[in-house]
Structure 1
């Protein structure tokens, strides 16, 4: 159902772009690349756009700390690979098709735009579909048994790493606005003499973000799915046994 809604959203999005011609409002420098060259360039930039799924701040001039990208990339890849390993049939095909859409849709949009506007694509333009993909992949882990100590420890470490990466990235962006980021600009200026502060001050907003991150992390750990993954054949046998019990015949 979710993939069907995602597909409908893609179709409606394409239709809106064609009707509204919204790319005409974007500024850019036209290029004379052929469609084949545009395809090549866009595919080469795939992982550059993937960084923007996590975040590139300001006027695309402020990248997040490397650790933030590494953690998110590792988690996203783990979700995708795990999903393809756990799901079969139509569900696996759906994930593959959605991944292909995320990979190829920027190319489809960019081919007609390049001769007039140049390369104007940004990763955030397709971020909603990336979120749908990751959420769908997450559902594939729903039936796994997370009650064993190694599994729960792994999940706790994953949630902790995500929380730390997000918090560090948030403080890094605060630093970008408070003092700037570059050679000769150090953390002592951020803590001691910032040129800009949000309402309430840097410390308050950082502590609030930290508190929300900790609360969200604890909530994720507490409400993780705890059902054991049951093989389809065993599940069928269990259903038959329950049927016999209900019918008053539990000889088998």
Structure 2
């Protein structure tokens, strides 16, 4: 029996395009679960993400990231076996550790902190020969030592700026690996368009900026995202787990590392797992846990959580927060924080330096629009069972900062920053993308043209903020417009600001081209294959 009506033919083409591929133009081969493994896309994404993160390593002056001196001192101490140091255990009390002299004096590099008109030229030289061990104070003394054990190793074998930059490089490469695994998971989903799009939106300048610093905040963000999206890939393919072994391993490693990153990381881990289960159901999760590899990775995460809980109890990690006591009551602090919810959204996009360098308004406008589009898409996703996870995470984003800040308001006052919640906000965006995965993929010339403009806009705002931050450091932000003065800088980063900007632009353009070709492939299914598919469906 044959059907010749144009309406039927169009319906058949639509069904084929939405059933066998997530690409706007059908590929020559039908995609199968696991046919495009996560590992392949991870390897493609890693060089691009690593390049962007490493450029931030050298573009940001030493100790220009919030709390970076404390984290640097902690890393150097842990690298020498001193996991916790000496402290009275009182809230806000600094921990005393033993580190090389040049590390103990690293705080002097931040002479420009919170002074937008001051350049890093004020920083004294770092004496690479000052490697004798002395006492130093750090507010990160009782933080979980896992991250610091990895990034602190260069301080054991070398000194001076080179050691600190290498510590940043190690942190950037580790974070880039997890972020690449996130992109790889998004791209290997059966319907990859919207998960990948949400993943791209979640990689804000703030994420890359933190990647290039000595701060576990970055590792917390990327391990949360890697855990969630790889778990989604696994649950989506639970009937054939052999095809997603790589993602199962990524889930185990990401979960174990995330659990031991920061004090709140266990909460993000739990929310990431709950979010994936809400989307795909409990049955796939039980099937994964019953498999040998799935059980092994579950055990690995369990051991990571146990180690994290043991450290939290013994080291009392929440007691090292610093600030100024306040007479504000907890209930008033809760209401105030709730009222300021959207004020902290800028921290998801980019507040560079020690909160002294906000992004230009155009940069915020671009990302706020992208955030809104992804979140609204998640709230209106179909099927309806995909929506609850978006509501759960959205409510968590709004309610957790007031709850957490209210607990410590009278001990240390208002200390909240947007980046503290960045891991959860990224999780919200990724969950929206997965919830939208059943939506039709944008197709046709208009969609391709629009996507080109969006990619160009993303590259543009990334570069704009990057140059703006370099302007702040090379000549300082003055009351008058002084872009041209950058060509006679007071301070220059390694490789010069011009060289870093060109490298950043090239890396962004390369990433945009690769991603656009993946989402909008030029290869089309031949007319013969379409006709054959129509005939097969008609006969069926």
After superposition, give the CA deviation of every residue in 1:102-132 in whole Å (9 maximum; x if it has no partner): 1111112111110100011111111112112
Structure 2 counterpart of 1:182: 478
- TM value normalised by structure 1: 0.80
The question of 1:201 aligning with 2:496 is answered: yes
Taking the TM superposition and a 5 Å limit, the aligned residue runs for 1:161-176 are 161-176=457-472
Shift of 1:208: 0.3
CA distance in 2, matches of 1:161, 1:187: 21
Structure 2 counterpart of 1:108: 403
CA contact (8 A) 1:83 1:137 kept: yes
After superposition, give the CA deviation of every residue in 1:197-234 in whole Å (9 maximum; x if it has no partner): 111111110000000111111122111168xxxxxxxx
- Which residue among 225, 228, 242 is the counterpart of 1:2? 228
CA contact (8 A) 1:98 1:133 kept: yes
CA distance in 1, matches of 2:447, 2:482: 40
CA distance in 1, matches of 2:416, 2:355: 12
CA contact (8 A) 2:381 2:439 kept: no
CA distance in 1, matches of 2:406, 2:484: 47
**Aligned residue pairs, count:** 230
Structure 1 gaps, min length 5: 227-237
CA contact (8 A) 1:145 1:225 kept: no
- TM value normalised by structure 2: 0.39
Give the secondary structure class of the aligned counterpart of 1:33: coil
Identify if the C-alpha distance between structure 1 residues 96 and 48 changes in structure 2 by more than 3 Å, giving closer, same or farther: same
Structure 1 counterpart of 2:377: 82
Of stretches 14-23 and 36-45 in structure 1, the one that deviates more from structure 2 is: 14-23
Give the secondary structure class of the aligned counterpart of 2:355: coil
- Which residue among 415, 422, 440 is the counterpart of 1:144? 440
Shift of 1:141: 4.7
Identify if the C-alpha distance between structure 1 residues 91 and 17 changes in structure 2 by more than 3 Å, giving closer, same or farther: farther
CA distance in 2, matches of 1:187, 1:142: 46
Identify if the C-alpha distance between structure 1 residues 177 and 166 changes in structure 2 by more than 3 Å, giving closer, same or farther: same
Shift of 1:134: 1.4
Aligned-residue CA RMSD in angstroms? 2.9
CA distance in 1, matches of 2:310, 2:363: 34
- Which residue among 175, 197, 211 is the counterpart of 2:506? 211
Structure 2 gaps, min length 5: 1-226, 232-254, 256-267, 274-304, 522-532
CA distance in 2, matches of 1:196, 1:178: 5
Structure 1 counterpart of 2:425: 130
After superposition, give the CA deviation of every residue in 1:154-200 in whole Å (9 maximum; x if it has no partner): 22222221111111001101111111112146112112x10111111
Structure 1 counterpart of 2:72: none
